[in-house]
Amino acid sequence: MRNHSLKANLTGYAFISPFIIGFLAFTLIPMFISLYLSFTSYNLFSPPRWVGLDNFEKMFTGDPKYWNSVKVTLYYVFIGVPLRLTFALFVAMILNTGSKMIGTYRTIYYLPSIIGGSVAVSIMWRNIFSEQGIVNGLLMALGAAPVQWFGDPGAALSMLITLSVWQFGSSMLIFLAGLKNISPEMYEAASVDGAHPVRKFFSITLPLLSPIILFNLIMQTISAFMTFVPAYIISKGEGGPMDGTMLYSLYLFRQAFMFNNMGYASAMAWVMLIFIGVLTLILFKTSKMWVFYESEGGR
Amino acid sequence: MLYPIIWMFFSSFKESRTIFTTATTLLPADWVWSNYVTGWQGIGGYSFGHYMWNSLVIVVLSTLGVVISSALIAFGFARLNFVGRNFWFGVMMVTLMLPHDVVLVPQYIIFTKLGWLNTINPIVIPQFFGAPFFIFLMVQFIRTIPKELDEAATIDGCGKFRLFIQIIMPLIKASLATAAIFSFYWRWEDLLGPVLYLNSPDKYTVSMGLKMFLDSESASNWGGMFAMSMVSLLPVILVFFLFQKHIVEGISSSGIKG
């Protein structure tokens, strides 16, 4: 019997060994290295030099560019993600009314999300918002003044946020799957009781969808914090104008690979890790108050 | 929703000089096909076909690696009993949420010390150790397969590995396809990997080729840049239309993709 369980254990570990090796080599050991480097000054060419908390001190008190990147990223995340999820839910509800064209709509709304991470789309976005681009053309046609999208840090950031909202397709599909799981009888019963659509939305749809809202919220928030390619391409790697598109990941990238401040970049990465960890924890903890599970222990 | 993509499509047929003066009109006045010719000639001394080939090699190797290894690992988690299984599954779920930024710098240092700079190794090899997203997706799929099937096969004298290859693999084809499609997208569109690890233009990928077009904007080969942007999206759009159903199922059951 003992022999058997040893064999079973060995077989199990044989199957998952790629994960364990990969986790150690590409995640756990790098994380320790990163933690160590965050207390050093290291430029890749001479050995790391221990500087204690200097990196963190500089970050919090002596680097306005750092705080700017924090501010820009928080704007990007806390405006972009709710907008994106609201759009996603709105469109999912329209599609859920059971249109025959659903396949076509799926294509129209989801395709942007599929290609959204590509350089091509970022280049396109850059040109759509360029000075003589189509957005300004439309603004002028409507009688409004054209906007200097690449001259004004706020405008440049809204351009990035628009791009992220445009790619709401994947959250939309997850909402759609969730909406399909709500039984029509619920709505019928509510109709019999005389509930109007707004009431139904707040009393049935939102509560039953809340676990999925939580899931989307967490995944989208994490990925938004790590946005890199659009900011990198649209600003040609500079984070401009006036650091208006200097997202945290882009600033970290520049510190590490343009200025060779590997220690400082590692410290930045750890602050981000801790921040995202705490934020996720808060979302989970507070979710008990607003997430509704139909069957406790479900999902 | 699709307007920006359509606009880019038509712009790729406009004459470079007129793309912006006619930004608000969709259709080109005369159709200029030469953008595709000049664009294809490429930039940085290599044709765009060269960049396409480089991307293809990376995508095919990465995708094979990630799908096979993820399936093995998923089978282990979903079907085998061993001490510490829940622990490792938990570890995997945590890495699913881990921001990549935190390992970016150390990974770069490790790969540099290994002498892997300017090779595709740092981009391809990690894929052979499974990806948490795909592992999770496949575990969910395998769990829907009745366990009696395993028991029957085991009684007939089927070993675990054969069970995996001959019984489970064919039944989770849909999730293998989903993983393959997403791996294809992510590797094809990847920019950070090539920017960090590839530094000679003969190794550049499609993303890097496009970036070079953008950097040399002063040459104002706008038409060529738009044309090659379209070409770079073509495989992605093609795969999307061919496998639309799988993608939609995959996404709604797992929630992957940013």
Residue A297 pLDDT grade (very low, low, confident, very high; cuts 50, 70, 90): very low
**What is the rounded distance in angstroms from the CA atom of residue B249 to the CA atom of residue A106?**
12
Residue A132 pLDDT grade (very low, low, confident, very high; cuts 50, 70, 90): confident
pLDDT value, residue A1? 43
Residue A295 pLDDT grade (very low, low, confident, very high; cuts 50, 70, 90): low
Instruction: Name the residue ranges covered by the structural domains of chain A.
Output: 45-292
CA dihedral A28, A34, A36, A41 (to 10 degrees): 160
Q: Is the pLDDT of residue B30 over 80?
A: no
pLDDT value, residue A294? 63
pLDDT value, residue B257? 45
Q: Model confidence over A182-228: pLDDT tens digits?
A: 888 888 888 888 888 888 888 888 988 998 899 889 989 999 999 99
pLDDT value, residue B150? 86
Contact with chain B for residue A113, Cβ under 8 A: yes
Q: How far is A170 from chain B (nearest CA, A)?
A: 7
The per-residue pLDDT of chain A, averaged, comes to 88
Residue A49's SS3 state is strand
The per-residue pLDDT of chain B, averaged, comes to 87
Q: How far is B257 from chain A (nearest CA, A)?
A: 7
Q: Model confidence over A139-150: pLDDT tens digits?
A: 888 888 888 888
- Look up the CATH number of domain A45-292: 1.10.3720.10
Comparing alpha-carbon positions, the chain B residue that sits nearest to A125 is B4
Residue B258 pLDDT grade (very low, low, confident, very high; cuts 50, 70, 90): very low
Is the whole model's pTM more than 0.80, yes or no? yes
Chain B, residues 29-68, CB within 8 A of chain A, namely: none
Residue A81 forms beta bridges with which residues? Answer: none
Residues of A in contact with B98 (CB under 8 A): 27, 273
**What is the rounded distance in angstroms from the CA atom of residue A140 to the CA atom of residue A149?**
14
pLDDT value, residue A194? 85
CA dihedral B106, B110, B111, B115 (to 10 degrees): 150
% of chain B surpassing 90 pLDDT: 46
Q: For B57-175, list the strands marked E by DSSP.
A: none
Mean pLDDT, rounded, for B21-50: 81
